[in-house]
Homo-oligomer: A and B are copies of this chain.
Amino acid sequence: MKKPEKKYAVIFKAEIKELDGEYSETLAVLRAMAVDHYGCLDIASTTEGDNEITISYWKSLEDIKRWRADVKHKRAQQLGRDKWYKSYRVQVVEVIRDYSHE
């Protein structure tokens, strides 16, 4: 039997201060980079009022670590702290069970 593959996620929850044009551009670039160059499997995001929840999925903690160290991503994190977000919380998690209903 094949060993089931592990899956990880990064839960990002933020309270928005003010989003600008640079935010939208940066977001689009970063999401494409995460998927195309860092092995990000999937991204889900919803914003309601001032609250954003974004979840990205990854196949290894190593990929998450590489992604966190990316220079453009680091710059965006800094802009997030300086301009876009009042506060945020990041949780790295391991997926234990996964089921869906269509």
Contacts and interface: CB of A to CB of B under 8 A. Distances in A.
Main secondary structure of the interface of A (DSSP, over half): strand
Interface residues of A, number: 32
Interface in A84-102: 85, 87-102
Given A11-B55, A53-B46, A94 B96 contact: yes
**How many monomers of this protein are in the complex?**
2
A62 interface: no
Given A11-B55, A47-B46, A100 B93 contact: no
Closest 8 pairs between A and B when the two form their complex, measured CB to CB = A93-B93, A46-B48, A89-B100, A92-B97, A46-B46, A87-B102, A53-B53, A46-B53
15 contacts: A11-B11, A11-B55, A13-B44, A44-B51, A46-B46, A46-B51, A46-B52, A47-B48, A48-B48, A53-B55, A61-B96, A87-B100, A87-B101, A89-B99, A90-B98
Interface of A: 8-9, 11, 13, 44-48, 51-53, 55, 61, 81, 85, 87-102
